[in-house]
Homo-oligomer: A and B are copies of this chain.
Amino acid sequence: MVSYRMTATEFLASGAKVEDYAQALLDHIAARGQVQAWAYLDPQHVLSQARELDAIPPSQRGPLHGVPIGVKDIIYTKDMPTQHNSSIYEHDAPVVDAALIMMLRSAGALIFGKTTTTEFASVTTGTKTRNPHSSQLARTPGGSSSGSGAAVGDLQVPLALGTQTIGSVIRPASFNGIFAIKPTWGAISREGVKFCSLNLDTMGFFARSIEDLELLAEAVKLEDDEKPIAHFKLQGAKFAVCKTHVWAQVGPGTASALNSAAQLLRAQGASVEELELPEEFTNVTKSHLDVFHLDAQTTFMSEYIRAKDQLDPVLVGFVENPSKLSHRDHLAALDNLAALRPKIDTILGRYDALITPSVVDEAPEGLETTGSPALCAMWTALHVPVVNIPGFVGEHGMPIGVSLVAGRYHDRRLLRVCASVAPVFEGGGWKSAL
């Protein structure tokens, strides 16, 4: 029998029919309806696509043949509504495939359904979606890619797409105990994806293995200058732990996860030093916030002009700009971040990866807020690739992940490093009960 527990890589190796795998996932989703990961899911459409894929002769199948992928509901799909969790688009959903969807369909993927998002992926007010690992489902899955994180964590789909402007990929990955990559900014086309910040928005992928992330990276031609190494050896590898200037916000779960991570790597013969970034990097948080707010002002001007009363007050605030941030502030922030990017590349070039918190701590209780993205903002602003690796555990038994960071356009190398690190972090104390 085909199991919903298979990863994408396992499914491809199994030779199972697409329809059988899709049906197994649909059955599991029906049984786990209370997680509410989906904004739109039409089982009949899923199955009819699956049957079409099964009918394709093996010689004509793509590298993602039949692989089910959940799609955050700010990414346009021509056969399913895209509504951004906004009533403005209730009857006005775009009908076109995003560039990424076009690539995935061309590779044979089964676009499964649309996963929940906070409003326009731009606020931290929670969605209906629940963290599948929490008892009584009483904790947030994080956001803004709430549904993608929860669906993959709950084995409802092996792969899902998200976006990150502050911490919308890495945070839900950590909260849901799964892997995710936020690639180098600009490395994957954002065409057909709702804008929040022109200078910060980045696509992201969720999976339950590094292998699956690599499968997706390969299909969408995410490539480094150098071919990825075949196997990365931890013996003799060089890591640095970076607590960053926002460490004061970190709770006991993340503090302990970072300690464990360093110890586990040292036990494999890797060197792990502590790195304090130069003073100038403390400005990244402020610059990130200024760029985010003023980019969002431009972005949401159109919805504001059209239907201000249908926008979250936070989005109205971006446009009305009560703190009177100026274009001068915007440019200063943009120019500051741009100047820091080559500097962080140089620093990151000294290590196989930097190890840094993904989140403040385990997923907080309640669905009102998706939690703090404070630990992610810096790396989003610096445009560098980040991978979340799960394995650690918080005070309430919830998963906690750790971020591995590399210089810009070293995404594939970073994934290879993570492939060796991931099994080691399994010693971190958390294991999914699902």
Interface residues of A (CB under 8 A from B): 76, 78, 92-97, 99-100, 102-103, 105-107, 186-192, 194-195, 198-199, 220-221, 224-225, 295, 298-299, 301-303, 305-306, 326-328, 330-331, 334-335, 338-339, 341-342, 345, 408-409
Q: A106-B305, A305-B103 are contacts. A298–B187 as well, Cβ < 8 Å?
A: yes
User: B194 contacts A298, CB within 8 Å?
Assistant: no
- For A225, list chain B residues within 8 Å (CB): 326-328
A76 shortest CB reach to chain B, Å = 8
> Could you list 22 examples of A-B contacts with CB < 8 Å?
A76-B94, A78-B92, A93-B96, A94-B96, A94-B192, A95-B96, A96-B96, A99-B299, A99-B302, A100-B302, A103-B305, A103-B306, A105-B306, A106-B305, A106-B306, A186-B298, A188-B298, A191-B299, A220-B301, A221-B305, A328-B409, A334-B338
A291 shortest CB reach to chain B, Å = 10
Q: A186-B199, A306-B102, A345-B331 are contacts. A301–B221 as well, Cβ < 8 Å?
A: yes
Closest 3 CB pairs of A and B: A94-B96, A338-B338, A327-B409
- Compute how far the CA of A189 lies from the CA of B299 in the bound complex, rounded to whole angstroms: 6
Q: Residue on B with the closest CB to A192?
A: B94
User: A327 contacts B191, CB within 8 Å?
Assistant: no
CB < 8 Å neighbour of A341 from B76, B305, B335: B335
User: B408 contacts A331, CB within 8 Å?
Assistant: yes
User: B103 contacts A302, CB within 8 Å?
Assistant: yes
- For A224, list chain B residues within 8 Å (CB): 327
Q: Residue on B with the closest CB to A301?
A: B221
- For A198, list chain B residues within 8 Å (CB): 186, 190
- For A338, list chain B residues within 8 Å (CB): 334-335, 338-339, 341
- For A303, list chain B residues within 8 Å (CB): 102
Q: A95-B95, A295-B186, A338-B339 are contacts. A103–B331 as well, Cβ < 8 Å?
A: no
Interface centre among A107, A191, A335 (most CB of B within 10 A): A191
- For A190, list chain B residues within 8 Å (CB): 195, 198
- For A330, list chain B residues within 8 Å (CB): 409
- For A339, list chain B residues within 8 Å (CB): 338-339
- Compute how far the CA of A103 lies from the CA of B306 in the bound complex, rounded to whole angstroms: 7
Q: Residue on B with the closest CB to A332?
A: B342
- Compute how far the CA of A233 lies from the CA of B34 in the bound complex, rounded to whole angstroms: 68
A114 shortest CB reach to chain B, Å = 15
Beyond A78-B92, A99-B299, A191-B194, 12 extra complex contacts between A and B, CB < 8 Å: A76-B96, A94-B94, A106-B305, A106-B306, A189-B302, A190-B198, A221-B305, A327-B408, A331-B341, A331-B409, A338-B338, A339-B339
Interface centre among A76, A96, A186, A221 (most CB of B within 10 A): A186
- For A327, list chain B residues within 8 Å (CB): 224-225, 408-409
- For A103, list chain B residues within 8 Å (CB): 301-302, 305-306
User: B302 contacts A102, CB within 8 Å?
Assistant: yes
- For A408, list chain B residues within 8 Å (CB): 327, 331
- For A93, list chain B residues within 8 Å (CB): 96
- For A199, list chain B residues within 8 Å (CB): 186
- Compute how far the CA of A296 lies from the CA of B97 in the bound complex, rounded to whole angstroms: 18
A253 shortest CB reach to chain B, Å = 35
- For A95, list chain B residues within 8 Å (CB): 94-96
- For A341, list chain B residues within 8 Å (CB): 331, 335, 338
- For A409, list chain B residues within 8 Å (CB): 327-328, 330-331
Q: Residue on B with the closest CB to A95?
A: B95
- Compute how far the CA of A345 lies from the CA of B106 in the bound complex, rounded to whole angstroms: 44
Q: Residue on B with the closest CB to A407?
A: B331
- Compute how far the CA of A221 lies from the CA of B92 in the bound complex, rounded to whole angstroms: 23
